[in-house]
Amino acid sequence: MSASLLPPEPRCDWAYFFDIDGTLVDFAETPAAVRVSESLRHLLQELYRCAGGAVALMSGRPITEIDALFPSVQLPAAGQHGAERRNATGRATRHEPTQDLAPVRQRLAQAIIDKPGLLLEDKGLSLALHYRRIPGLAGFVQQTMEALLPDLDGDYCLQQGKSVVELKPAGKDKGRSLLEFMTEPPFTGRTPVFVGDDASDELGFASVNDLGGHSIKVGVGETVARWRLANVKAVEQWLRSISH
């Protein structure tokens, strides 16, 4: 699907869902190197106030990392692609897998021991192998992660991202988390809006489309989203229109 440019201006009676990396903030060499500007934090706080709390962050990051990036307001959040979720009242739920990831983590660490440019990120419920610093190893990363699946009895699946492949709990994704939020106040009854940039956000776009909301793809690439913004800067500019 070819998304249209320029989504409609944001409104206070909508429900908002945002991916973080590549959507609200630009990518950095490593996840830990990402920085959030005070202007963006202010815009999110303003949107949160305007929308009556109907703003949630949807990320591959754990919720603890989300809170560290946005410490001034504890937003509803879905972390690790929905494997953990905190609703608007602050109640947190967490997927409890039956498989122990420790042996898998050890196998991955051993597989990349001679490739220091790769970054293995342990998120607790998921494992991510980043190749941003060595893009030529994309195929190696994909094959290495795929080789782990047969020993996990279907409890885990792979999630593609920008310069990363993640091993995450099966049956958990941003689309399902969005639908869960939409059954709860203050999201219920509002028009959902999801803004994201990569493959992990496509299920969120699909859920929003099914609900008749606004799905917004950031950047280039095929998508099921109905609208498009060019980059992180364009997202911030779009958010500014709600405060004028």
Catalytic residues: 19
Q: How far apart are CA 76 and CA 116, in angstroms?
A: 36
Q: How far apart are CA 97 and CA 109, in angstroms?
A: 21
Contact 137, 125 (CB under 8 A): no
- Count of residues in the chain: 244
Number of other CB atoms surrounding residue 5 within 10 Å: 9
DSSP assignment string, 13-73: TEEEEE--BTTTB---SSGGG----HHHHHHHHHHHHHTTT-EEEE-SS-HHHHHHHSTTS
DSSP assignment string, 103-146: HHHHHHHHHTTT-TT-EEEE-SS-EEEE-TT-GGGHHHHHHHHH
The C-alpha R_g of the chain, in whole angstroms, comes to 18
As beta bridge partners, residue 130 has 119, 164
- φ, ψ at 111 (rounded to 5°): -65, -30
Supply the DSSP symbol for 231.
S
